[in-house]
Chain A
Amino acid sequence: MLTAIVLLPTAVAALLLCVPRGAPRTLFLTAWASTTAVELILTVIVWAGYRTDGGMQYETRARWIPSAGISYHVGVDGLSLPLVALTCVLFLACALYAWRDTRRVREFAALFLFLQTTCLGLFVALDLILFFVFFDLSIVAMYFVIAGWGHKNAARSALKFFLYTFIGSLALLLGFIGLYLAADPHTFDIVDLTTANPLAGHATYGALVLLAIGVGLAVKTPTVPFHTWLPPAHTDAPAAGSAILAGVLLKMGTYGFLRIALPVLPGAWREYALVFVVVGVVSVLYGALVALAQTDFKRMIAYTSVNHMGYIVLAIGAAGAVGANQEEARRLAVTGSVFQMVSHGLLTGALFLLSGVLYERGRTYEMSAYSGVAGRAPVFAALTGVAAFASLGLPGFSGFIAEFQILAGSLGPEPVATGLAVLGILLTAGLFLRALQQMLLGPLRLPVAAPGTDRPFPDLRLHEGLAVVPLLVLGVVLGLAPRFVLDVVEPASRTVLELLGR
């Protein structure tokens, strides 16, 4: 089942590439959108069949490269299932959003379908090398998305993105090799490694492996100081690419921490948890402060991603404070971090798609170029407002639940750091309100109409609405009735903490 979900998009992509380029544009777009819809349905079926307290499910394990300890091993649990669902939702939204695209549609659709395979594959992978394969391929696919369909300095940004995240992935690979050689018998299997806990009692070795894996995942997440690739990549990527980059690809880093670093290296993690707490808080504050200084709407959202991912790193760092008799709090923090991944994926995805709408109308992201947009495009303004409020953590939206859990959970183990992190919420609230005020309210002022649009700033079109609205609706649903996700996540976070406590 999982294998079918993972491989279906790539199979369709291969088929699309066999269709001659001259075929009607709608053929490719329909195929793309319907594939992502089927993916979502399949994921819903998997979710329906998932027993909330059953641990790892839908497992498949096949021999792949036995002599190197590599197997094809996939499965889902409470950590990965929400992210798989998030991935399918976001890719469907992107397929709908791209409905009016005209630039090399066949290749674009094929690339996105392939990208979907890599993202889904990563979240279900239970073998380090399989994880790495998808990790690397997602970078490659995203590079081509930015380089081929980006704007302005796309080639430069794409190169920076690739080089930077590739450094991270190689650090990760070295860490994986370290784990492989430490285990007896040598294996790359995550489940086996988790059971074996191979580096217990090897303090220095464990620290070095954690350093390699930590750097690799921190680049991807990204946390300060490894975040510098993110703003240019986001600014120059096409809107759908940005949405996936922020919504799904960034989660690979934090998911990697929860899936690999905590369970496999519990000793080293407990030892160095404080480092991650500090890095998390710095990311929260630095991301918010730099976002405050931005004049470019998309760049601002990119920096708020650094801020939001910082909360996650803070939470999983706080989870490492074992022995402080804070069982309940730490579990809350881990659950909150998974919930924040989902919430941030939905909301930032929506915000990036909306910024794409903005760019398409005005050919610039400069916030000072727009004013009074609400009068001209009320639906766009309303949705942007909702997305911004949701993103700054207003109660009633998923972001609130996530950040509340994270902060409440981290407060006990790490009171000072959490106190500082709360300031980040204040800053993001300020910057979002300022951006909304500047762009949406006030006297009407728009950039010169972009070529191809008949009148300045038409309101949201149907396909754009279909892409954005469901993301925000889900954000509200998760904010009001989060139980159905939390039921899945909580047993898994309990397991992670048990493994960490060994």
Chain B
Amino acid sequence: MNEMTEMNENPLYLLPEVLLAASAVLGLLLGAWLPRRRQWLTGALAAVACTAGIVAAAIAAAAPVKTVFGDSFALDTLTAGARIVILGATLLVLALAAPRMHADARETEFYVLLQLASLGTLMLAGAQDLLLLAAAYLLASVPAYALAGFRKDGPGTEAALKFYVVGALLGVVMLTGVTVLLAAGRTTSYPMLRTELAEAPGGLVAVGTLALLAGLLFKAGGVPGHFWVPDAVQGSSGTVAAFLATVPKIGALAAFYRLAAVPLADADLPWADLVAVLAVASMTLGNLAAFFQQDVKRLLAYSTISQVGYLLLPVAVAGRTDLDQPALLYYLAGYALTNLGAFAVVCALPRAHTLDDYRGLARAHPALLASLAVCLLGLVGTPPTAVFLGKLEVFSAAFDGGYAWLAVAAAVNTVASLFYYLRWIGPAFRTSEAVGEQRVTSRPAAVVAYAAATGSVVLGVLGGVVLDVLDGPLAR
């Protein structure tokens, strides 16, 4: 037994996580010594760590499924897929941040916080134990609070405060959930919980699960844990907004799915109905609230809330169909790329805050408008972008899992979402007098936007290859 434990505690199993943690710590030390103009090196270090992490995760994905560090961390396709998406998204955020933060007095701090928040998200995705899940929640949240208020201005402070208060509250609720589930199942490890919870009293399991979901929905930014999203995204800088609206969701939804597929799989819970209701609430509320927003970041914030709704579809039918896991992972990858592309356009036009500021973009920056159109129409699910195939898979999964009405609700919501995305693209064709100030562009951010838009189309067209890889057994 002892030998077994030693064998599965090899730190190399957690290479992507270890790399990110090491680079964060090393960056902090380096930052204390490097002159201000050289601090970009810490950012470069972070990029190297992310890239190496992606490679390590891809190599690890080929290995057979196992659980490491006791029963606490799962190494399976879900973890591998989430790792690659999270690290790739972080890499894009770093590319967006680098020119903006260059020679900033707190450049290193920014990169370190970013890496720690990503690390927490990675842990969320792989956690196979309730206590590790709670720890990952804190690791993912606390640096994010600091990032939200990083600019130290009025809106940023408000954003950080709201983010923190909601996060702290729901975090405590989540811990309560962990406690209740521990009481019900007498363990915190998922594989054992699966058998224990099947025989535990239904009420206790239901209360514990609901409380646990509060924390995950907070991280995912789904209803009812979504209250922080609009303010945090609008109040923080474009780069941080891009991060907050994209990366934590990936880990949270992977954790959500794992929860559904492993510990709660045999529990006596109306799981699918519960998640279906949450999904419909998320997409509908997000869409309705986005309808008449004027601020582009706020609009995108509500759009991400609605996207969580679609992403919850495969979670709702987890275990009822074979399509659920590839659908979720593929949608997450497509969503991360497309959403970051949209935020990159926002970052590329730092002076344009409202929809009206985008008037005349067709004439001034046609390539940027094209990227914006690809990303926004991509988020709607227009083929051949990645999110289209993601939606197709997600709808198919819902149908196949016996939740056709959920797919219909999602389709109706998709149409509704088209309205506000078009409210953004439409004015770009109108001529504008307010040329000049609004037209300041950030070239590197524009390049990221082009890359993300192209990437989302390429990912969509090459979807076949990717989907094949994403189908694999879960660690149980």
Q: B98-106, B264-272, B422-430: which one contacts chain A?
A: B422-430
Q: A68-B463, A140-B377 are in contact. Are A148 and B429 (CB under 8 A)?
A: yes
A177 to B425, CA, bound (A): 29
Q: A65-B463, A133-B383, A174-B408 are in contact. Are A155 and B430 (CB under 8 A)?
A: yes
Kindly supply a per-residue 1/0 record for chain B positions 398-422, scoring 1 wherever the CB is within 8 Å of any chain A CB and 0 otherwise: 0110001001100110110011001
Whether B366 and A66, one on each chain, are in contact in the complex, defined by CB atoms closer than 8 angstroms, is no
* Contact residues in B for A64 (Cβ distance below 8 Å): 464
Q: A137-B383, A166-B418 are in contact. Are A67 and B392 (CB under 8 A)?
A: no
> Within 8 Å of chain A (Cβ to Cβ): is B471?
yes
**Chain A proximity of B402: nearest CB distance (Å):** 11
**Chain A proximity of B249: nearest CB distance (Å):** 23
Kindly supply a per-residue 1/0 record for chain A positions 159-189, scoring 1 wherever the CB is within 8 Å of any chain B CB and 0 otherwise: 1001100110011011001101100000000
Tell me the nearest residue of chain B to A148, going by C-beta. Answer: B429
Q: A148-B362, A155-B426, A159-B422 are in contact. Are A68 and B399 (CB under 8 A)?
A: no
Q: A65-B467, A68-B463, A162-B418 are in contact. Are A177 and B429 (CB under 8 A)?
A: no
Whether B395 and A177, one on each chain, are in contact in the complex, defined by CB atoms closer than 8 angstroms, is yes
> Within 8 Å of chain B (Cβ to Cβ): is A406?
no
Which residues of A (430-478) have their CB < 8 Å from a CB of B?
none
**Chain B proximity of A265: nearest CB distance (Å):** 17
* Contact residues in A for B326 (Cβ distance below 8 Å): 67
Whether B464 and A63, one on each chain, are in contact in the complex, defined by CB atoms closer than 8 angstroms, is yes
* Contact residues in B for A137 (Cβ distance below 8 Å): 382-384
* Contact residues in A for B363 (Cβ distance below 8 Å): 104
Tell me the nearest residue of chain A to B362, going by C-beta. Answer: A148
A178 to B383, CA, bound (A): 19
**Chain A proximity of B359: nearest CB distance (Å):** 11
Whether A65 and B464, one on each chain, are in contact in the complex, defined by CB atoms closer than 8 angstroms, is yes
Whether A68 and B414, one on each chain, are in contact in the complex, defined by CB atoms closer than 8 angstroms, is no
**Residues of B in contact, count (CB < 8 Å):** 38
**Residues of A in contact, count (CB < 8 Å):** 34
> Within 8 Å of chain A (Cβ to Cβ): is B17?
no
A148 to B404, CA, bound (A): 37
Whether B393 and A68, one on each chain, are in contact in the complex, defined by CB atoms closer than 8 angstroms, is yes
Per DSSP, chain B at the interface is helix
**Chain A proximity of B204: nearest CB distance (Å):** 37
> Within 8 Å of chain B (Cβ to Cβ): is A147?
yes
A107 to B363, CA, bound (A): 10
**Chain B proximity of A148: nearest CB distance (Å):** 5
A354 to B163, CA, bound (A): 60
Among B395, B418, B422, point to the contact of A173 (Cβ < 8 A). B395
A170 to B407, CA, bound (A): 10
A66 to B463, CA, bound (A): 10
> Within 8 Å of chain A (Cβ to Cβ): is B396?
yes
Per DSSP, chain A at the interface is helix
A171 to B430, CA, bound (A): 31
A166 to B416, CA, bound (A): 10
Whether A66 and B468, one on each chain, are in contact in the complex, defined by CB atoms closer than 8 angstroms, is yes
A104 to B411, CA, bound (A): 35
Among B366, B389, B400, B430, point to the contact of A65 (Cβ < 8 A). B389
Q: A147-B429, A159-B419, A166-B418 are in contact. Are A173 and B392 (CB under 8 A)?
A: yes
A133 to B419, CA, bound (A): 20
A65 to B412, CA, bound (A): 26
* Contact residues in A for B463 (Cβ distance below 8 Å): 65, 68
> Within 8 Å of chain B (Cβ to Cβ): is A158?
yes
A284 to B427, CA, bound (A): 37
Interface centre among B380, B383, B471, by most chain A C-beta atoms within 10 angstroms, is: B383
Among A107, A129, A163, point to the contact of B418 (Cβ < 8 A). A163
Whether A70 and B415, one on each chain, are in contact in the complex, defined by CB atoms closer than 8 angstroms, is no
* Contact residues in B for A129 (Cβ distance below 8 Å): 383, 392
A136 to B383, CA, bound (A): 7
Q: A136-B382, A137-B383 are in contact. Are A170 and B415 (CB under 8 A)?
A: yes
> Within 8 Å of chain B (Cβ to Cβ): is A132?
yes
Pairs across A and B, CB under 8 Å, 22 listed? A63-B464, A64-B464, A65-B464, A67-B471, A68-B392, A68-B393, A68-B463, A68-B464, A104-B362, A104-B363, A129-B392, A132-B383, A147-B426, A148-B362, A155-B429, A158-B426, A163-B415, A166-B415, A171-B411, A174-B408, A177-B395, A177-B399
Beyond the given A166-B418, A167-B415, A174-B411, could you list 19 further A-B residue pairs with CB under 8 A, ordered by the A residue number? A65-B464, A65-B467, A67-B326, A67-B467, A68-B392, A68-B467, A136-B383, A136-B388, A140-B377, A159-B422, A170-B414, A174-B407, A177-B392, A177-B396, A177-B399, A178-B404, A180-B396, A181-B396, A181-B400
Which residues of B are at the interface with A, using a C-beta cutoff of 8 A?
326, 362-363, 366, 373, 377, 380, 382-384, 388-389, 392-393, 395-396, 399-400, 404, 407-408, 411-412, 414-415, 418-419, 422, 425-427, 429-430, 463-464, 467-468, 471
